[in-house]
Amino acid sequence: MACSRPHQFTSIPRSLFNTPASMLNNVLSFVLFQGATIKRNEITGEIFVARVIHGGLADRSGLLHAGDRIIEVNGFPVDGMEPEQVIQVVQARSHGTIMFKVIPITERPVHNQTMLYVRAMTDYSPQQDPTIPCADAGMIFKKGDILEIVDQTDTLWWQAMKLPCSSACAGLIPSTSLLKRKQREFWWSQPYQPHVCMQTLSTVDEEEDMMAIDENCVEAADEEAFESEEDDFSGNIEGVYLAGFRRSIRLCRRRFHSTTQPSCHIRCPSSCNNTLNNPYEEVVRYQRHPEDTHRLITLLGPSGVGVNELRRRLIEMNPNIFQGAIPHTTRCPRGYEESGREYYFTSREIFDNMVYNNRFLEFGEYKGSLYGTSIDAVKEVLNSGKICIIDIEPNAIQAVRTHELRAYIIYVKPPPLERLRETRQDSYITTNYYVNRPFKDEDFQEMEESARKIEAQYWQLFDQVIINDELQDSCVQLLTAVRRSQDEPQWVPASWIRPTADS
Ligand SMILES: Nc1ncnc2c1ncn2[C@@H]1O[C@H](COP(=O)(O)OP(=O)(O)OP(=O)(O)O)[C@@H](O)[C@H]1O
């Protein structure tokens, strides 16, 4: 390759510029050479290298740089040509070398190459984005993917690699500001509909409907069973009381008010909390130090999928290692109950005060009493050296994703319908009006629908997904995931490691 700057005659092997035929139909003013895009100055007609793709052939050759002006290709002057015509000149030579005459840019942009890793909070497909300079240079990604941003020189189009790395070559992705703009434009172009946040969980009104159906089905719902409501599951294993499985706390959570929820009821997209609203979340690799408290294990899933069953089995496996958090309630203690064992029994005033001070991860009301899981109850377990396992409603995810609790989120997903029918033949569901009744097909369909909504909104925040098909397999997967969360490096929000004012 010849190289004599400032008027440089560069030759690069033919294979470097093997442009896909589809590019020739590209009407955009940017066209992809192998590993570089070019653009035309619409006033002067000059052709420039728009960007060199990180890790691509042009980048590795070290001969082309963003801003270089291309004078000739294979001896043909290219000034005034459309980028597509330049590509045709390149392609006209089917073998051998391709010669470029280039005027290098005088001041190359300085690459402040800082390592930046982000979690994609949205899906992106370059093929469906008419504004991308070159769709073939774009990179498709899905919610939850971890991306390494390798070039932020351009304020609109960054270059990134998807981890784990399968290609040496980066792809174009929209920058944060561009993607936010696209999301806003897309949102405003949609006909009015309640914001997705509002669609994720059944609202109290929907709950009332569900209850109405239940009432019709079972006129004589066993009220007595509900009066003795607390004995759904509780027990004493190796001297440790398994708290947090009482029916009332589980039922009240269906009518639950998350500490993070209220803003989601407004139509404006900016009303969603920060993480869900940002297209990318900066992340860092985090490995828990053996002397640090354990990460909080948080299970969630559609009602009836088996979250409590899995949680209970894990704690039963080794109650000296795993423990749930003891909930708070304003209900009066029964004769046999002790504060700090089944519940922390508190006055309404204290409970309200805790709500006011954001001390609850989630709370709700059931039969006139308040129930909630407090941050302090979780910390008490963690500070004792145990691994705290709780289950939450999806819209409490943000409340546990803090630098204080460093929650590892496990989503329990229902298997396909036919597997639900097979595996749940001898299982029982507890609804607002039933204690342990056999599953019906409607329950499975509702579970699937609820799973779809949860996944649509929160998938990107899940550290692990367990499909609860065969119970034994799920237990093993859960145990493995819990071990991994504590002992292996994980991607976590950068704000946990470099806390900011609002983290
Ligand atoms: N993999 C499975 N195979 C068969 N039965 C299961 C499986 N997982 C859970 N179950 C059973 O399904 C029923 C509902 O499970 P569980 O009470 O854990 O649901 P949940 O997700 O906690 O629901 P909710 O939040 O409404 O209480 C229980 O009878 C449980 O034993």
CA of 22 to the centre of ligand 1 (A): 51
Among 50-64, 145-159, 460-474, the range of highest mean pLDDT = 460-474
Rounded to 10 deg, the angle between the 471-487 and 307-317 helix axes is 70
Mean pLDDT, all residues of the chain: 79
Does 188 or 54 have the greater pLDDT score? 54
Nearest to 433 by CA among 271, 248, 211: 211
Residue 436: band (very low, low, confident or very high) from pLDDT cuts 50, 70, 90? confident
Give 386-427 pLDDT, tens digit per residue: 999 999 999 899 999 999 999 999 999 999 999 999 999 999
CA of 430 to the centre of ligand 1 (A): 9
Domains of the chain plus CATH, in order, are 8-103 (2.30.42.10), 116-189 (2.30.30.40), 200-260+286-497 (3.40.50.300)
Judge whether residue 452 has pLDDT over 90. Answer: yes
Residue in 214, 253, 427 to alter for ligand 1 test, most ligand atoms within 8 A of Cβ: 427
pLDDT of 270: 40
Instruction: Out of 16-20, 329-333, 423-427, 440-444, pick the least confident.
Output: 16-20
C-alpha triplet 392, 201, 124: angle, nearest 5°: 95
Q: Could you tell me if 152 and 175 are in contact, meaning their C-beta atoms sit under 8 angstroms apart?
A: yes
pLDDT of 238: 66
Q: Whose C-alpha lies nearest to ligand 1, atom 14? A: 304
% of the chain residues with pLDDT over 70: 74
pLDDT of 318: 94
Does 258 or 266 have the greater pLDDT score? 258
Q: Could you tell me if 391 and 327 are in contact, meaning their C-beta atoms sit under 8 angstroms apart?
A: no
Q: Looking at the chain, how many residues does it have?
A: 503
Among 61-70, 125-134, 345-354, the range of highest mean pLDDT = 345-354
Instruction: Out of 42-51, 101-110, 138-147, pick the least confident.
Output: 101-110
Q: How far apart are CA 145 and CA 462, in angstroms?
A: 11
Mean pLDDT of 256-269: 38
Q: Could you tell me if 136 and 269 are in contact, meaning their C-beta atoms sit under 8 angstroms apart?
A: no
pLDDT of 184: 81
Residue 176: band (very low, low, confident or very high) from pLDDT cuts 50, 70, 90? very high
- What separation in angstroms does the CA of 268 have from each of 121, 192, 198, 203, 397? 18, 11, 12, 19, 21
Mean pLDDT of 235-241: 67
Judge whether residue 198 has pLDDT over 80. Answer: no
Residue matched to tokens 């304020």: 155
Judge whether residue 195 has pLDDT over 70. Answer: no
Among 73-77, 207-211, 443-447, the range of highest mean pLDDT = 443-447
CA of 332 to the centre of ligand 1 (A): 28
Judge whether residue 448 has pLDDT over 80. Answer: yes
Mean pLDDT of 107-121: 79
Q: Which helix (H) or strand (E) segment is 446 a member of? A: helix 441-458
Q: How many CA atoms lie within 13 A of 503 on its CB side?
A: 18
Judge whether residue 139 has pLDDT over 90. Answer: yes
One-letter amino acid at 414 equals P
Give 12-27 pLDDT, tens digit per residue: 433 333 333 333 333 3
Q: Whose C-alpha lies nearest to ligand 1, atom 23? A: 304
pLDDT of 175: 94
| Six-digit token string for 190 | 């949609």
> Do strands 360-366 and 344-345 pair parallel, antiparallel, or not at all (unpaired)?
unpaired
Q: How many CA atoms lie within 13 A of 65 on its CB side?
A: 14
Nearest to 260 by CA among 158, 395, 137: 395
Residue in 309, 314, 425, 467 to alter for ligand 1 test, most ligand atoms within 8 A of Cβ: 309
Q: How far apart are CA 249 and CA 233, in angstroms?
A: 11
Residue matched to tokens 């779809």: 452
Q: CB within 8 A of 483, min separation 6: which ones?
A: none
One-letter amino acid at 309 equals E
Nearest to 247 by CA among 331, 338, 123, 133: 331
Q: CB within 8 A of 472, min separation 6: which ones?
A: none
Ligand 1 site residues (CB inside 6 A) read: 250, 301, 303-309, 423-424, 427-430, 468, 471, 474
Does 29 or 497 have the greater pLDDT score? 497
Report ipTM (2 d.p.).
0.99
Mean pLDDT of 334-340: 87
CA of 319 to the centre of ligand 1 (A): 20
Judge whether residue 276 has pLDDT over 60. Answer: yes
One-letter amino acid at 32 equals L
Give 69-104 pLDDT, tens digit per residue: 999 988 889 999 988 888 888 777 766 777 888 898
Q: How far apart are CA 345 and CA 31, in angstroms?
A: 68
Judge whether residue 109 has pLDDT over 90. Answer: no
Judge whether residue 359 has pLDDT over 80. Answer: yes
